[in-house]
Amino acid sequence: MHESLTIALLQARETAMSWFRPVLNRHNLTEQQWRVIRILAVHRSLDFHQLASEACILRPSLTGILTRLERDGLVWRMKPVSDQRKLFASLTPRGEALYQEASHQVEQGYREIERQFGPEKMAQLQGLLYEFSALPPPSDDV
Binding interface with DNA (CB under 7 A):
17, 21, 25, 30-33, 47-49, 57-66, 68, 77, 82-87
Count of beta carbons in the 10 Å neighbourhood of residue 88? 15
Cα separation, 113 vs 76, whole angstroms: 33
Instruction: Note whether 101 binds a second copy by CB under 8 A.
Output: no
Cα separation, 23 vs 109, whole angstroms: 9
Contacting a second copy (CB under 8 A), which of 36, 71, 101, 131? 131
From the CB of 52, what's the least distance to DNA, in Å?
7
In sequence order, what are the beta bridge partners of 89?
46, 77
Restricting to residues 17-76, which ones interact with a second copy according to CB under 8 A? 17-20, 22-23, 31, 35, 38, 55-56
Among 130, 128, 102, 125, CA closest to 113: 125
Closer to DNA by Cβ: residue 68 or 117: 68
Contacting a second copy (CB under 8 A), which of 30, 49, 97, 107? 107
